[in-house]
Amino acid sequence: MLYIQPAIFSTLAFASWAAANLVPSPIFKRADTWGGSVSLGPTKSTIVKAVTTIIPGPAPPTQNGVLFLWPGMSNGTGDLIQATLESWQSNSWCGATTGQWCVRASVFGWFGQLDGNPSPVSGSDQVRIEYALQADKNTWLQTVTNAVTGALLSTYSSPSGPYMRGYGTGTECNDNCSGTIAAQSYINTVITLASADTTFGGTIATAGGATYSGLTSSDGGKVWSIASISIPAMSKAPQTTTTSKTTTKATTASTKTTTKANTTGGSGGCSAPQYAQCGGNGFAGCTSCASPYTCKLQNEWYSQCL
Ligand SMILES: *[C@@H]1O[C@H](CO)[C@@H](O)[C@H](O)[C@H]1NC(C)=O
Ligand SMILES: *[C@@H]1O[C@H](CO)[C@@H](O)[C@H](O)[C@H]1NC(C)=O
Ligand SMILES: *[C@@H]1O[C@H](CO)[C@@H](O)[C@H](O)[C@H]1NC(C)=O
């Protein structure tokens, strides 16, 4: 596990993969913190298409850990579709220069993290991220383009199934990252459902100072749009101060999963978005979930905001 590619280590997903496979990893330290978020779901229907355009603002000029921005879609138990804008200590692996992000289509599931080809993007770029269920009703095609020029930045296709029910933004800080230094905007977000669900808009939730405007529906509640989402820059101070403890007796021990009660909001508090990990043996990140989600025990190694 130590030799796993850094990219696999660093996403939301790795912990749940480890959890799902019941792999105790005493060497694995996590101290995730989260920026603001906006999310919707679960729908009574299913999502068949989701499009948004993110304007990420400049990436931190120096990076202490790893920082990810993503719009994510899942049903809580299956794959997490999450095209990611990434900030690493060096982003030269995608051709980016200081202040630029690397973007790539990406999916996380029981298999780990799988990524499309990456491209660099600048802070003022408009990065359009589309997830579309294909005619076979099983394959999701992710298409990432520059919304202004139409240039293709990344694609990925995965058999992630027809039961997607939740969608939301994530600003995820791993390994004591340097947080976002500017706000992110997500504009022209449009989520299309398989059938009308007039209650879907009512499931919208915000955390960490994120705001949205222009939530509307059409087609009797089948198509939902959010004109604008704004995620504030993260404060310099880490939002979660818990340091991880590594446990050496991995396999034995009836370890208890901590599912601490909420400490949502306020400076110094934290709130993990929908579908984020919020507990589990060895987990040292944020254990509070953004309202209305609660931290649900999945197994000894993994609790999740649902
Ligand atoms: C989530 O999607 C997967 C893949 O299609 C499916 O196997 C699973 O049953 C779904 N779970 C829920 C809770 O809908
Ligand atoms: C996080 O990074 C900062 C800046 O590099 C450092 O001062 C601090 O000690 C680090 N904290 C942890 C828990 O590693
Ligand atoms: C969050 O914590 C506060 C203070 O302990 C409590 O009053 C409130 O009911 C809690 N909210 C939830 C959703 O658990």
DSSP letter for each residue of 205-265: EEETT-EEEEEEEETTTTEEEEEEEEEPPPPSS-S--------S--SSS-PPPP------S
Full-model pTM: 0.75
CA 24 to centroid of ligand 1, rounded, Å: 25
Q: Is 64's C-beta closer than 6 angstroms to any atom of ligand 2?
A: yes
pLDDT of the residue at 239: 46
Give the C-alpha separation, 76 to 157, whole Å: 19
Please give the structure tokens belonging to residue 297.
């025990």
pLDDT band for position 142 (50/70/90)? very high
CATH number of the 6-231 domain: 2.60.120
Please determine, for residue 267, whether its predicted confidence score (pLDDT) is greater than 70: no
Residues with CB under 6 A from ligand 3: 261-262
Q: Is 117's C-beta closer than 6 angstroms to any atom of ligand 2?
A: no
Please give the structure tokens belonging to residue 143.
């298409």
pLDDT of the residue at 290: 85
Which pLDDT tens digit goes with each residue over 60-115?
Answer: 999 999 999 999 999 989 999 999 999 999 999 999 999 999 999 999 998 999 99
Give the C-alpha separation, 190 to 298, whole Å: 31
pLDDT of the residue at 31: 60
CA 221 to centroid of ligand 3, rounded, Å: 32
User: DSSP code of 60?
Assistant: P
pLDDT band for position 280 (50/70/90)? confident
Which pLDDT tens digit goes with each residue over 184-210?
Answer: 999 999 999 999 999 999 999 999 999
pLDDT of the residue at 282: 76
Give the C-alpha separation, 229 to 206, whole Å: 10
Q: In the chain, what are the domain boundaries?
A: 6-231
